[in-house]
Structure formats: structure tokens, C-alpha cells
Structure 1
């Protein structure tokens, strides 16, 4: 029984070797076709290497502020909260880490960046207009009267855009997100985020990378420090108001003292306005002293919340250049077409055997 199983295994192994040799001989007999198509593929790869424009990569890295670095200001914030004042200092967690990286790729931030002005050949245009020029879209729009007069003015009001403008911005956003823009943390243990922008135009890569970082940074700072800034403005208005009241009360005391100068000591009623003004001065002085303290605490909190993004590296010309080389084009094209030819010939022979 065991001897028969060994014989069957030997037979199956021999058949396998014969089959492999048969297939190999078949493909070898078709070497002219395989070689011809591989040469065609290598030629196409070489042509593609000439047609393919080089790409430029702009890279910017920045670090996020540590949210736990509150330090000794916690006691000051606790003192302020005891007086019913919220000085902020706890917002902004939605922008931390990976959330902020995704925020860079949001459509609103990318579109606002595209509408930022840049200087190109002595003219001020928007980044979206620069993108359209780089891709020669206007040549294809010449036959369409609705597109020939289409303009994207720098810092234009986004809400007034037409449906066509919205569609164009949407296409550009998808193109940038799929092939040009990369945002992420290279190491999850380190709070350093990098932005990579790849395009065929060196200046566009640099301008867009810097403008996107600026747009997100401004929005980030305004949003995270909004509560602290509003509280500081309220405290400053209250401080100015109490200071005016205190000045008015001090003036009132002086006027009341002038009116009671050399007054008969028996006429105490005439001294009542002066006494009331003295009370106003004391009360306003106490209130003003406390408001000044709270205003200074609010300023400290606002300064703490403001430096949210620390730029480490900026893109510097010349940018990193990547070109699809001739040797790579020949190798990739020849291998791809040769492999596809072998695959197709194998399928044809297999189908013939089945039929």
C-alpha cells in the first residue's frame, strides 16, 4: 500500500516537471513575439520619460504646542474662576495630533489657500489661477464661452462663486488631495507634523505649501484663543468703564469739597454729597484694582494660547526634484509589456487545452 502511494507521488512529480517543461518550451517558442512587444514597451517607456515633466516637492515641518504645559498658571486660572470669569486655556483639543493633520486636508482650508494671492511674472494672481495656468486648462476652455471669461480673483468672496467655479475648485481639490498633498506625523511618538506638496511647478509647490500652513495656522490660533481673547476684551472694556467712573467720582469729591469750603460745622447736611462721592471713589478703586488683576491674567492666558504652531523647516528653493529617468522608463516599459505578453500567451494556451 505504501509502495503504491510512493509510486503515485513519483508519477505526479514527474508529470509536474513535464508540464513545466512543456510550458517553458511553449513560451520559449514564442520568444520573438515576447521580445518584440517588450521592445515596444521599452520604447513607449522611453517616450513617456521624455514627456513626463519633473516634479518638485516642497516640505514644511512644524511642532504642536504641548497642551499640558500649563505650569503655574493653573492657580491663576483657579483664582479667576472663583470670581466667575472664564479665562480659557482648555480649548483646542480637537486640533491636536492626527486631527490637525486631517484638518490640513479639509476642503475649506485647501480652497481658502487656493484663493490666496501670489506674485507670478510681476502679476498678482490667486493660487487657483496659477494651478489652471500650470495645467493649460484655459486652452481647453477656449471653445466654451462660459469658461473663457471665468476668473478667480485673489481673496474673493467664496459665497458668491457660481456653480461652475465651485465645480472647478472641487476638481482641483480632489487632484491635490489624491496626488499632490500629503500631511501626517512621521512618528506617532513625536508631535511633529510634516506637509509635502508635489507638483510640476516648483513655485506652485512652495507657494501652496507655505500658504496652506499660514491659512491653517491663522484659523487654528483664532479658534483656540477665541475664548481667551473675548474674555480679555470684555475685561478691558469693564476696566475702562470703571476707570471713567472713578475719575468722575474723584472729580465729584473735589467739587463737593469746594462747595463746602469754610462751611459752618453745624450744617452737616451740606457735607453729604462729598461723603457719597468718597464712598464711590473707594468702591470704584477696589473694583478697578481687581479688574486690572483679572485683565493681566487674561493677557497671560491669551499669550499662552497664541503660539500654537511652531514652524521648524520651510521649503527653500531649489526644491527636491524628481524626474522619471530614461533607464527607468525603458526598464519598466519593457518588463511590463513583456510580463503582460507572457500572461496573455499563457491564458491562450490554457484555453486551447480546455477546448
Structure 2
């Protein structure tokens, strides 16, 4: 039984090897069909090179935040044994929330409503985008919108203006804007803007990065800054009171230049002013100390944002040269057509090795 089985297997392998030879002969017979398909592929590759080129503007920067643990850091190891994590910080911009901030409607709207110079002419980014894609013509024929203007206060925009900006924000998040971290363990953030308009892609990328980073810094330091402003106002007020008290002491002394030492009542006014000076000086010293501490806290709260790369012209693009498109289209079509004809002939049920024996 084993010898018979080995003989059958040997015959099957010989038949399959012969089948490969027959397939090669069959492929050579079909050379004209394969060549025609390859030529069609070359034409398709050539036509593909005429498609609109998409440009990608890329910015990258490092974001580093200062820890506020201070003296608590020395107890973090002991606290971790008790299941308490003292090193964790929570906030609006922790983790991946900063990435979502880039995709927010507010940030995209602010970037679109900024003005940049294109070919020597100042223009809103949103107007540049609308003109490049001829959206006003589409709106006029479809929605009967003849005139639309985005200058002025965004808070006073009408329903149509808000609707257009919302649609653009959705489109940008879906197709134009890509924000990501190179690695979850790293603090390097990459912002990419892809569009057919090379100048718009670069300007929008720059504006968006500036808008978000400035908003980030202002929000992170808002509480510390407000605290510093209040302390500065208090210091100025106490300083004014102190100056007035010092002036009062001098005025009281001038009012009685040769006072009778026996008349104690003549000294009351000056002594009162002197008490005011001492009290104001103590308060002023404490306020100044707190003000300096507030300034230090403000400097510590400012996050470090260091730009690594900014988009420069010419931007990277997906354009394929005509010769490359023809060659790639030709050989891709050649490979696919040859593989299809080869597999079709090898796997043909009527010609598979051993097929005749099974029928018998």
C-alpha cells in the first residue's frame, strides 16, 4: 500500500511539473493579451500623473510642562507603597487632550479668520480657501448665496456664516488636518495640513500652531497671572497709602516746627501718622514678598514649547512624474495580468493533476 501511495504521489508531482511547463507555454501564447493589458496600464499610469497634486505642510514641536510637586516629590515613593500616586497631574491639557484642542472648532475658526499675504495681497485664509475651490460659485448655483463676507467680529456672524465655518471645520478634521504624537512616551507633537493649495497649507499650519500654542500657554498660566495682577494692584494701593502716611508725618512736623515740649497734644497727630507709616510698611513688605512669590510661580507655570520644524517651500507632495507613472503602470499591469493568466491555467479544474483519475 505504501509503495502504491508513493507511486501515486510521484506521478502527481510529475504531472504537476509537466503542468508548469504547459502553463509557461500557455502564457507565451497569450503574450499579445498580456502586452495589451500592460500598455493599458502604462496609459493609466500616465493619466494618473495629471491628477491634482496634494501638498503637506508639517510642523513639529516639543511640549514640556513643569511639575508642581515641589516638596511632595520626596514622599512620592513612600506614598506609592500605600497606593497613592502623588506624581499624577490632572488638567485640561494633560495626556492627549492637547491633540483634541488642535481639532476644536474654535481653534480652526480663529486660524481661518486670520490674515496672511498671498502673492503680495493680504487675504483671510478662509477667503483664500473659498476662492481656490470656487465655493462661491457652487453656493450661488445651489444655495442662492450671492455674497458672503467673513470680516468682522465672529461673535456677530449670522447663521449662514456659522454654518459654512462648521462645514469647513468638519472637512478639515476629516481630510485636511492630522495631529499626532510620534510616540506615546515622547512629548513631540506633529501637525500636518494637506491641501491642493501649497501656500494655503503652509500658512494655515503656521497660524494654527501659533493659535493653539498661545492659547495653551495663556490658559496654563491664567490663574497664576490673575493672582499676580491682584497682588500687584494691592502693592500699588499699599504703596500709595504708605507715601501718604510719610507725607502726613512730614506735614505734622511742619505744622508745629517749634512745639512746646510740655504740650503733648501737639505730638498726637505726628505720632498717629508715624503709626500709619509703620503699619503700612509692614503690610507693604508682606505684599511685596507675596508678589515676588507669585511671579516665580507664574514663571514655573509657563510650559516650554520648542518648535523643531516649520513648513518651508517647496512642501512635500504626492506628485508622480510622467515617466515614473508610465513605467509603474506598465510593470504593475504586466505583473497582474501574467499572474492572473498563470493561476487561472494552473487551477483550471479540468486540467488539475489527478483530475482524470478522480473522474475515473
1:114 maps to what in 2?
Answer: 112
Larger deviation, residues 122-131 vs 315-324: 315-324
Match of 1:132 among 130, 133, 146: 130
For residue 341 of structure 1, report the CA deviation from its aligned partner: 6.6
Distance 1:179 1:67, change over 3 A: same
Do residues 62 (structure 1) and 61 (structure 2) align?
yes
For residue 25 of structure 1, report the CA deviation from its aligned partner: 7.2
In structure 1, distance between residues paired with 2:97 and 2:105: 14
For residue 309 of structure 1, report the CA deviation from its aligned partner: 1.5
For residue 299 of structure 1, report the CA deviation from its aligned partner: 2.2
Distance 1:168 1:244, change over 3 A: same
1:287 maps to what in 2?
Answer: 283
Aligned residues: 334
1:146 maps to what in 2?
Answer: 144
Do residues 297 (structure 1) and 293 (structure 2) align?
yes
In structure 2, distance between residues paired with 1:290 and 1:266: 38
Please give the per-residue CA displacement for 1:308-353, whole angstroms capped at 9, x wherever unaligned.
3222333333434542222343345446666777899899999x97
1:36 maps to what in 2?
Answer: 36
Distance 1:189 1:128, change over 3 A: same
Do residues 216 (structure 1) and 212 (structure 2) align?
yes
In structure 2, distance between residues paired with 1:166 and 1:31: 60
For residue 192 of structure 1, report the CA deviation from its aligned partner: 2.9
- Other structure's SS at 1:317 match: coil
For residue 28 of structure 1, report the CA deviation from its aligned partner: 6.6
Please give the per-residue CA displacement for 1:36-93, whole angstroms capped at 9, x wherever unaligned.
34433431321221x223343333232223424x79xx58xxxxxxxxxxxxxx9885
Determine if contact 1:220/1:308 at 8 Å carries over to the other structure: no
Determine if contact 2:55/2:197 at 8 Å carries over to the other structure: yes
Match of 2:241 among 232, 242, 245: 245
- TM-score scaled to structure 2, two decimals? 0.74
Note the 1:71-90 alignment, pairs <5 A. none
Provide structure 2 residue ranges, at least 5 long, that are not aligned to the other structure: 72-87, 351-360
Distance 1:2 1:313, change over 3 A: same
For residue 98 of structure 1, report the CA deviation from its aligned partner: 4.3
In structure 1, distance between residues paired with 2:89 and 2:264: 57
In structure 2, distance between residues paired with 1:141 and 1:45: 34
Distance 1:233 1:203, change over 3 A: same
Distance 1:21 1:98, change over 3 A: farther
In structure 1, distance between residues paired with 2:109 and 2:336: 42
For residue 179 of structure 1, report the CA deviation from its aligned partner: 4.0
For residue 231 of structure 1, report the CA deviation from its aligned partner: 0.6
For residue 229 of structure 1, report the CA deviation from its aligned partner: 0.6
1:78 maps to what in 2?
Answer: none
Distance 1:120 1:283, change over 3 A: same
In structure 2, distance between residues paired with 1:8 and 1:277: 122
1:184 maps to what in 2?
Answer: 180
Determine if contact 2:66/2:301 at 8 Å carries over to the other structure: no
- Other structure's SS at 2:273 match: helix
1:105 maps to what in 2?
Answer: 103
In structure 2, distance between residues paired with 1:338 and 1:93: 57
For residue 274 of structure 1, report the CA deviation from its aligned partner: 2.9
In structure 1, distance between residues paired with 2:156 and 2:130: 21
1:81 maps to what in 2?
Answer: none
Distance 1:258 1:19, change over 3 A: same
Please give the per-residue CA displacement for 1:142-194, whole angstroms capped at 9, x wherever unaligned.
424633312333x64156242x4444334433443344433333355543333
For residue 209 of structure 1, report the CA deviation from its aligned partner: 1.5
